[in-house]
Amino acid sequence: MRTLDLLVVAVEAEALRLRREIGGLARGAAWGVAGAGFGAAALVMLHVAAWYWLLPHLGLPGSALAIALVDALVAALLVVLARPRNDPVAEEAARLRALSLQASRQASGLSDLLGAKPSPAGAVAGLLADAALAAWKRR
């Protein structure tokens, strides 16, 4: 196969992979939303049960205050857990990407010949244009 045909196959395979992956993410999101709804209903029922259990012991204001205090503690814990953290793997991947792009700019004989600096967006656009041209020629 020619290089252009291989690139066309690669682009079509990547498009198929992305469509399948997006479909799986959409199904997972739908199931997650349904699960979150049932989880919220269970949480409401736990609040009602706690209210009825605490009512004879603490009275109306005391039971409301106790439930609010527990909710505030859980909320504070969740906020602490939700803080963004350093991801050393992501940082290393960004460094590796930057180094490889820099090396590709330095090693490209075509860019030296034309006096242009290649960019990743230009490379992707060129691949897509080649794939589109090949698909158009096949028709």
Measured in degrees and rounded to the nearest 5, phi and psi for residue 119 equal -125, 160
pTM reported for the whole predicted model: 0.50
Residue 137 lies inside a defined structural domain of this protein = yes
Mean pLDDT of 52-81: 93
Q: pLDDT band for position 38 (50/70/90)?
A: very high
Residue 121: inside a domain, yes or no? yes
Helix (H, G, I), strand (E, B) or coil at 139: coil
Q: What are the φ/ψ torsions at residue 19 (nearest 5 degrees)?
A: -60, -45
Q: What is the pLDDT of residue 111?
A: 52
Residue span of the structural domain in which 98 resides: 88-139
Instruction: Provide the greatest CA pair distance for the chain.
Output: 86
Residue 5 domain-assigned (yes or no): no
Query: 19 lies in a domain?
Result: no
Q: Is residue 100 very low, low, confident or very high in pLDDT (cuts 50, 70, 90)?
A: confident
Mean pLDDT of the region 67-94 = 88
Q: Check whether 114 has a pLDDT greater than 70.
A: no
In a domain, 131, yes or no: yes
Would you place residue 107 in the very low, low, confident or very high pLDDT band (cuts 50, 70, 90)?
A: low
Is 95 within a domain? yes
**Count of domains forming the chain:** 1
